[in-house]
Structure 1
Amino acid sequence: MTAPLCVSFLWHMHQPFYKDPVAGEYILPWTYLHAIKDYYDMPAIVEASPEARVTFNLVPSLIEQLLDYAAGTAVDPFLVRGKMAPADLGEDDRLFILENFFSANRQRMIEPNPRYLELFSLAGQGMPGTSRRALRRLGDQEILDLQVWFYLAWTGEAARRHFPVFGELIRKGRGFTAADKELLFETQRELIGRIVPLYRRLQEEGRIEISVTPYFHPILPLLCDTEIAKVALPRAHLPRRPYCHPGDARVQVKKALSYFEELFGARPRGMWPAEGAVSDEALAIMAQEGLCWTASDEGVLAHTLPAGLGREREAIYHPYAFSQEGRDLGMFFRDHLLSDLIGFTYSQWDSERAVQDFVSRLQGVRQRSHGSRVVPIIMDGENAWEYFPVNGYPFLTRLYRAIEKTPGLETATFCEVLERVPERRALGHVHPGSWINANFAIWVGHREKNLGWEDLEKARRRAVQESRAVAGLLEGREVDDPAARLACTSLQAAQGSDWFWWYGDDHYSAHALGFDLLFRSHLMNVYRLLGLTVPDELLKPIKRQHAPGFVREPSSSITPAITGAVTDYFEWLGAGLYDLTKLSSAMHAGEGTLQSLYYGFDRDHLYFRVDGVHSLEKVLGAADHLVIHLSVRGRWRVELDPGRGEGELQIEEGAGWQPSGTGARWQVGKIAEAALPLAPLGLLPGDGFLVSLFLERDGAESGRWPVDGELLLVCPGEGMEPE
């Protein structure tokens, strides 16, 4: 009988170290919010699915923060303001709440909750500059309801099922009391306190395997030597002084293993290196520290094997062994397509249809790839679910059940795969790269990223010169010097990958300056703890703040011909422009369909032009639609049907979209062009309005720009051209 195909899920749980270890305060709230939404829900779903065997990867610096919140010792400015009585809030505190307590997915977390949506409207629907004006519209009861709804909306579905308090508050909906809010936070703290024990118990029962990442989530190959980036990108501009400290990489690994063993009572056997980033030197460190397995992305394997992945990508469905100096380290390579379908596509599908599609693809792997034994599904275990209905609960429960009921498929942890499949394909060398494009460009090479590495190198060099204790700690020795230990902790926290992720133009976050401040704060702590003067450059932001994907504002009025083709170069020369490739998911959903969004005006019309990565007439099918959404004195949309050249603007009324009686023109050819009349929209010179773009395929959303949120555009006045 043919052995079953093992489906090995690895859910990676990670947040950067938001806590300033010296000040003892958290800068951003995401560890707490994902704790109540995902870190409890994910193992709870496995517990409720007896057939499931999965791997959870926990980053030690995340666990440290979870335990801090569970103990009630975390000082979090979001929590502090959330717990304050509205009457005690000053104007700045209220403004903070209005500007931050709608930080939630609008479609899945705000709109399903009528009172939260009502408060969102009262507060200006997230339009910049509206919060201060909204202060007059929100009294103490509205603020109290908002405090409750922000944290209630972030509460996961399994948590709601296991803690009745959350359901009772949701049913109440509005008019919350101080006692309601106190009960909410008490219950959430109880929930967070159960997270680590739940993981430990499930591992002891053999239901899950827990793997680990180096302590502060650094890119190990770059700690070993930033110059390794040139293997994949020979022409990359790298830091002027390389960061070359393999000992730092080893200490991050050793510290993670020791912390894990202390917390869970057993040494971990597997390690997901941060961002799947590997190199021969990094793998050798993991092998020498006694780990049994690690993993990376199929792109790394494709660049490693002389013949690539093979016609059916068959090469990725086998365990490998990286061998060096007599030590073997098991290796797995994630199926990029299947992992990203969960991460970026299935959230907009009906759960049953998504599960059927996924299982069908697994059956296809088993049929096509003879001798294949494992399909590694490795992905972020927290960020995807806010885009799914009900936080992904229906999808995951059905998925686990469907796999086990399908002949020839079964879930298995990575250690179980190694036990069942003794044969390994040997690797003596691995291409240095990460899960993103099999290189390290996300973390080094841009001016901002390089400045970060140079500041890190400078701080490390000064610390070692000035303190033997720090030098000893960085070599892995025990040192009884509290200030040196704190300085070393700050330095290691600054080695984390997340700071470099947000530097440069790759990704956008409204909190990018907060990440920048955290990185510089960690380095400033190093100097201050050792009695050294903080360099002036650390007092200024590294991050240049600008809108995601923004290229230029409109510079003149335009009146293009709506033909679906570029008939005249000068037609769109005065238009505003966004780079849509910069507005895709921060987790890199893959190469996008759309490339650019142009927008412009004349006295009567608002114009849009959408360019694809390839000609749209070749990319879009007859049933595909590009849909433009506008928020301006109401919500509007227009579907650009490739088969028609005109139609009606739709307006949102009640629970659905209705014809507005206002006509619009468009044409979809090599490009898409559309003309929308200004008058019915009520747009006046100087008005701001919000725009988002959707691609609908087979009746389901398959792309969204920006991935979360909307673009703020401004209708210019008559003085646009002189400006």
Structure 2
Amino acid sequence: MASENTTPVVLCWHMHQPDYQNHKTGEFLFPWVYLHCLKDYVDMAAHLEHHPGAKAVVNFAPVLLEQIEDYLLQIERWRHDGPTMGDPLLAALVAPTLPTPGSPAFLALIDKCLRANKERIIKRFPAYARLADVADLYRTRPDLQRYLSAQFLADLLVWYHLGWMAETVRRTNAVVQGLQEKSHNYTLEDRRALLDVIAELMSSLGPRYRHLAQKGQIELSMSPWGHPILPLLLDFGSARESLPDITLPEHSGYPGGRERAIWHMNEGRKTFERFFGMAPRGCWASEGGLSQATLALLSDQGILWTASGDSVIHNSLRYAASGHAGPEQESVHQPYRFGEASVTAFFRDDGLSDRIGFSYADWHAKDAVGDLVHHMEAIAREPGTRVISVILDGENAWEYYPENGFHFLDELYEVLERHPKLRLTTYTSYLEGAKTSPAQLPELVAGSWIYGTFSTWIGGPDKNRAWDLLCDAKQQVDRALDNEPLSADQKEAALRQLGLCEGSDWFWWFGDYNPAPIVQDFEQLYRRHLVNLYERIGCEAPANLFQPMSQGGGAPAKGGAMRPGHEAEL
């Protein structure tokens, strides 16, 4: 039994990828779902399995779970002589015939196979590094491309997937170890053996996480289905609670936003329960985006807890203090309830979480964990500390660490599962064992885990234009559903396509501060989703959907896939 003198610590890992599939063709335009499955989701489960005394919260975006299901379905169909798999990289890995050397398709696959962390993945393996050096030469010398061979591409495809392999698998799987030792001249049989490993790992994810949850080692929670920013669906004006002067889109609000927010919660729960066989009790509202209206909606949905960044609670405490309605003990490190909402909110310690995301990748693992735990111990001694929350995504940080964060995560769980003063737990377990009620505040000041604002998703010219295009499309959908002779299946398909367009990721990437190639990828995919939406309802897409809306050009830390919780930390 845990000592009452220990301070609860919650590690909450958020697993999320937007929908990369063109649902008109079935093609996955980017491979990040299956690659993060292969590298990160597998490793995160394996570390917990290796440390049975550790506990964590693992949050999944339902749209990610559905893509995992679709990949597995496509692989099985292909194995039974069905159509080619919809992901070009995965299909090429096992293709009997590869594109002609020097052809556009050949060069496109080369480019895709170099989209990996150069220092931590490509350079780690001499054979992969040599292939990358050759590819760099031939990409700049079109006159030499005729001398490339199909074997070069076959080897590059194998090493790309070996580079993205989970470290826990790399250390134990005989097929992976054999392919690494072979290093070159991979046969079609080799490539198909690697696909078998990929399929086995992906199919293991649901059962592994479900088993960890069933034995009480993890708590599984969910985000709304398509990962929308719920407060902005409910009310654009919520962005002005933390940024009063922010410029909002031309549309005064998202049409029918409350109904759409409820739809995302209901659809998310269906997917979650199908994948894991249990109902979620917690919800990481996409990007920790909360408002008082969002808390009320989560309460109505029967959600027990939610969470956000510490800037949100700081803003809310200041608001309460201005009306002399603050709690007796102000602290980031305790749960809160706001107004009449019954859902309990926890708040991310941005300093601790961002150390993992942005600082420790270049530290020795023991030094990094020692530093993190030292800070936790100091926090545990502070008045008002009741629970310490470390919340960050479970996929993007590890490629910057040696060996996919293997040593850091192993040391982190090893130290915390036997620490005499800190106790790993989950949010539901904490609430069930709590002897005191959450602190009460009159109202939550709307915001997200990034800066305590919504500026990452609304307010800039590119972001606002994207919202206006979405609002126009939503109004057209409403008219079509009311007036067009659409079948029940057509209506459902249209609403699901709309849900993809409502996701947070498109708005995240728009803006000059993000890298141009990634901005281009995401804005093209966003426009494709919108065009497909118009086609679903039998309407012609407006001409402005075929015009780029954002260019990018910045160089943010870690490529922009992660951001620190406080603006001063940029």
TM exceeding 0.5 = yes
Name the CA distance, whole Å, in 2 between partners of 1:304 and 1:23.
46
The residue type paired with residue 506 of structure 1 is: Y
- Aligned-pair CA distance for 1:583: 8.1
- Aligned-pair CA distance for 1:261: 2.2
The residue type paired with residue 479 of structure 2 is: Q
Aligned to 2:231: 221
Does the C-alpha gap of structure 1 residues 592 and 114 become closer, same or farther in structure 2, counting only changes over 3 Å? farther
Name the CA distance, whole Å, in 2 between partners of 1:443 and 1:233.
13
Aligned to 1:204: 214
Number of aligned residue pairs: give it: 548
Aligned to 2:374: 360
Aligned to 2:535: 528
SS of alignment partner, residue 315 of structure 1? coil
Q: Which of 19, 42, 45 is 1:43 aligned to?
A: 45
- Aligned-pair CA distance for 1:112: 1.1
- Mapping of residues 553-702 of structure 1, within 5 Å: 585-589=560-564
- Aligned-pair CA distance for 1:269: 0.3
Q: Which of 537, 548, 555 is 2:554 aligned to?
A: 548
Instruction: Show CA shifts across 1:59-100 (max 9, x none).
Output: 100000011112226511222233334654461121112212
SS of alignment partner, residue 280 of structure 2? coil
SS of alignment partner, residue 549 of structure 2? coil
- Mapping of residues 109-508 of structure 1, within 5 Å: 109-124=121-136, 130=140, 132=142, 135-136=145-146, 138-244=148-254, 245-306=257-318, 315-324=331-340, 327-367=341-381, 369-423=382-436, 424-468=438-482, 481-508=488-515
Instruction: Show CA shifts across 1:467-514 (max 9, x none).
Output: 23999xxxxxxx962222111111110000000111112322523222
Does the C-alpha gap of structure 1 residues 17 and 364 become closer, same or farther in structure 2, counting only changes over 3 Å? same
Normalised by the length of structure 1, the TM-score is 0.72
Name the CA distance, whole Å, in 2 between partners of 1:419 and 1:591.
31
- Structure number with greater CO (CA < 8 Å, separation at least 6) is 2
Instruction: Show CA shifts across 1:311-354 (max 9, x none).
Output: xx960111222342xx4111100000000111111110001111
Percent identity (aligned) = 35
Aligned to 2:81: none
- Aligned-pair CA distance for 1:305: 0.2
Instruction: Show CA shifts across 1:197-256 (max 9, x none).
Output: 111111111111000000000000111112221222222221111333122111111211
Does the C-alpha gap of structure 1 residues 470 and 37 become closer, same or farther in structure 2, counting only changes over 3 Å? farther
Does the C-alpha gap of structure 1 residues 154 and 491 become closer, same or farther in structure 2, counting only changes over 3 Å? same
Name the CA distance, whole Å, in 2 between partners of 1:481 and 1:407.
58
Name the CA distance, whole Å, in 2 between partners of 1:335 and 1:134.
53
Does residue 101 in structure 1 map to residue 113 in structure 2? yes
> Larger strand proportion, structure 1 or 2?
1
> Larger helix proportion, structure 1 or 2?
2
> Is the 8 Å Cα contact of residues 516 and 543 (structure 1) preserved in structure 2?
yes
> Is the 8 Å Cα contact of residues 95 and 132 (structure 1) preserved in structure 2?
no
Give unpaired runs (5+ residues) of structure 2.
78-84
SS of alignment partner, residue 66 of structure 1? helix
The residue type paired with residue 450 of structure 1 is: N
Name the CA distance, whole Å, in 2 between partners of 1:44 and 1:20.
32
Does the C-alpha gap of structure 1 residues 583 and 354 become closer, same or farther in structure 2, counting only changes over 3 Å? closer
> Is the 8 Å Cα contact of residues 313 and 332 (structure 2) preserved in structure 1?
yes
The residue type paired with residue 195 of structure 2 is: F
- Aligned-pair CA distance for 1:443: 0.6
- Once the two structures are overlaid, the 10-residue window that deviates more, 377-386 or 521-530, is 521-530
SS of alignment partner, residue 456 of structure 1? helix
The residue type paired with residue 589 of structure 1 is: P
The residue type paired with residue 284 of structure 2 is: W
> Is the 8 Å Cα contact of residues 66 and 271 (structure 2) preserved in structure 1?
no
Aligned to 1:76: 87
Name the CA distance, whole Å, in 1 between partners of 2:309 and 2:339.
18
SS of alignment partner, residue 55 of structure 1? strand
> Is the 8 Å Cα contact of residues 213 and 220 (structure 2) preserved in structure 1?
yes
SS of alignment partner, residue 135 of structure 1? helix
> Is the 8 Å Cα contact of residues 349 and 391 (structure 2) preserved in structure 1?
yes
Name the CA distance, whole Å, in 2 between partners of 1:518 and 1:391.
28
Name the CA distance, whole Å, in 1 between partners of 2:360 and 2:248.
38
Name the CA distance, whole Å, in 1 between partners of 2:229 and 2:566.
23
- Aligned-pair CA distance for 1:295: 0.2
Root-mean-square deviation over aligned CA pairs: 2.4
- Once the two structures are overlaid, the 10-residue window that deviates more, 381-390 or 224-233, is 224-233
> Is the 8 Å Cα contact of residues 309 and 565 (structure 2) preserved in structure 1?
no
SS of alignment partner, residue 457 of structure 1? helix
The residue type paired with residue 248 of structure 1 is: R
Name the CA distance, whole Å, in 1 between partners of 2:144 and 2:278.
53
Give unpaired runs (5+ residues) of structure 1.
472-478, 550-580, 596-723
- Aligned-pair CA distance for 1:109: 0.3
Name the CA distance, whole Å, in 2 between partners of 1:131 and 1:354.
44
The residue type paired with residue 391 of structure 1 is: N
The residue type paired with residue 374 of structure 2 is: S
SS of alignment partner, residue 332 of structure 2? helix
The residue type paired with residue 338 of structure 2 is: F
> Is the 8 Å Cα contact of residues 94 and 135 (structure 1) preserved in structure 2?
no
Does the C-alpha gap of structure 1 residues 281 and 470 become closer, same or farther in structure 2, counting only changes over 3 Å? farther
The residue type paired with residue 536 of structure 1 is: A
Instruction: Show CA shifts across 1:13-49 (max 9, x none).
Output: 0000111223222111100110100111101110110
The residue type paired with residue 404 of structure 1 is: E
Q: Bigger radius of gyration, 1 or 2?
A: 1
> Is the 8 Å Cα contact of residues 22 and 486 (structure 1) preserved in structure 2?
no
The residue type paired with residue 587 of structure 1 is: M
Name the CA distance, whole Å, in 2 between partners of 1:584 and 1:24.
28
Does residue 20 in structure 1 map to residue 22 in structure 2? yes
Aligned to 2:521: 514
Name the CA distance, whole Å, in 1 between partners of 2:168 and 2:108.
30
Instruction: Show CA shifts across 1:117-145 (max 9, x none).
Output: 011111227x9x62745634532222111
> Is the 8 Å Cα contact of residues 451 and 566 (structure 2) preserved in structure 1?
no
Name the CA distance, whole Å, in 2 between partners of 1:89 and 1:138.
9
Instruction: Show CA shifts across 1:387-435 (max 9, x none).
Output: 1111111111111110122211110011111112242101231111111
